[in-house]
Structure formats: C-alpha cells, structure tokens
Amino acid sequence: MAGRIKFYMDEHVPPTVTEGLRRRGVDVLTAQEAQKLAASDEEHLAFARAQERAIFTQDADFLRLHAAGIVHAGIAYAPQQTPVGDMIRGLVLIAEVLEPSDMADQVEFL
C-alpha cells in the first residue's frame, strides 16, 4: 500500500464531511456509494481493507474490533458530537502526513 491515504466513510458519517474532503482533493468512497449499507462492521473493515482504504467512523464498535485484533487498513475515529470542521481538518491532516502503510492496523483519533 503506497501513495496517499484514501478513505472509506462509514454509513453514519455526515455527508458534509465527505463533501469537504472531496473539495480538498481527498479520495473518499462512502458506504452508500459502495452499496454496503446493510453490511456488518466486520464486512465494512474487510471491504475497506480490500480497497486499500482507511475507514472513517464515529462508531466505537470499530475500536472494539481493532482491540480484538481484526486486521484492517486503518481506522480514523471521531467521537459523536465532533464538529464537522474538526473532522474535515483532522482527516485532511491524516491524508497529508501519513501514508497507507502508517495507517495499517492503527487507529487515529480525531
């Protein structure tokens, strides 16, 4: 996995976050676009890994999967009630300073 980090957005991420990232040149795929709305959290992680995308979520269940040792391409996590601007700035920073190999099996907290 080389190059810039690409994100896969969990289905509950506000669309304004996705739009803000795209305006800033970040490669983003949503669960809706991937037709994965009914997928389990494990399926989301496996899909994101297969697509070489770090998942962005506000669902703490993904942190439990990480703690259980589930292999993934990276998890960016923001708690509920995190302002949209903070999420966008944090994800842009991750995309600018980290490489996909830095994110593999890691969690970045926003």
Q: How far is CA 3 from CA 51, 66, 95, in A?
A: 13, 23, 10
Sign of CA dihedral 47, 63, 57, 102: negative
Q: pTM of the full predicted structure?
A: 0.94
The domain limits of the chain are 7-109
How much of the chain is in helix, strand and coil states, percent to nearest 5?
40, 15, 45
Which tens digits make up the pLDDT trace of 39-96? 999 999 999 999 999 999 999 999 999 999 999 999 999 999 999 999 999 999 999 9
**pLDDT surpassing 60 at residue 32:** yes
- The CATH number of domain 7-109, selected from 1.10.3470, 3.40.50, 1.10.10, 2.60.120: 3.40.50
Number of Cβ within a 10 Å radius of residue 74: 29
The pLDDT assigned to 1 comes to: 43
